[in-house]
Amino acid sequence: MYLSLTFHGESVILSPIIDMYTNEVISYDLSMSPNLNQIKRMLETAFKKFKSLTGLIFHSDQGWQYQHNYYRQELKNRGIIQSMSRRGNCIDNCIIETFFGRLKNEMYYGYEKEYESFESFSKALDEYINYYNNERIQRKTKWMPPVKYRITSMCFA
pLDDT (0 to 100) of residue 25: 96
- Does 98 reside within a domain? no
pLDDT digits (tens, 9 = 90+) for 62-91: 889 999 999 999 999 999 999 988 887 777
- Does 124 reside within a domain? yes
- Does 101 reside within a domain? no
- Does 100 reside within a domain? no
Tell me if the pTM is above 0.85: yes
> What integer best gives the mean pLDDT of the chain?
92
User: CB under 8 Å to 46, separation ≥6 — which residues?
Assistant: 17, 26, 27, 53
- Does 99 reside within a domain? no
Q: What is the mean pLDDT of residues 25-38?
A: 95
What's the domain range around 82? 3-93+106-155
pLDDT (0 to 100) of residue 85: 86
- Does 89 reside within a domain? yes
CATH number of the structural domain spanning residue 21: 3.30.420.10
- Does 129 reside within a domain? yes
Domain count of the chain?
1
> Is 60 exceeded by the pLDDT of residue 157?
no
pLDDT (0 to 100) of residue 131: 99
pLDDT digits (tens, 9 = 90+) for 87-128: 877 777 889 999 999 999 999 999 988 998 999 999 999 999
pLDDT (0 to 100) of residue 93: 83
pLDDT digits (tens, 9 = 90+) for 41-68: 999 999 999 888 888 888 898 889 999 9
How far apart CA 30 and CA 28 sit, in angstroms, is 7
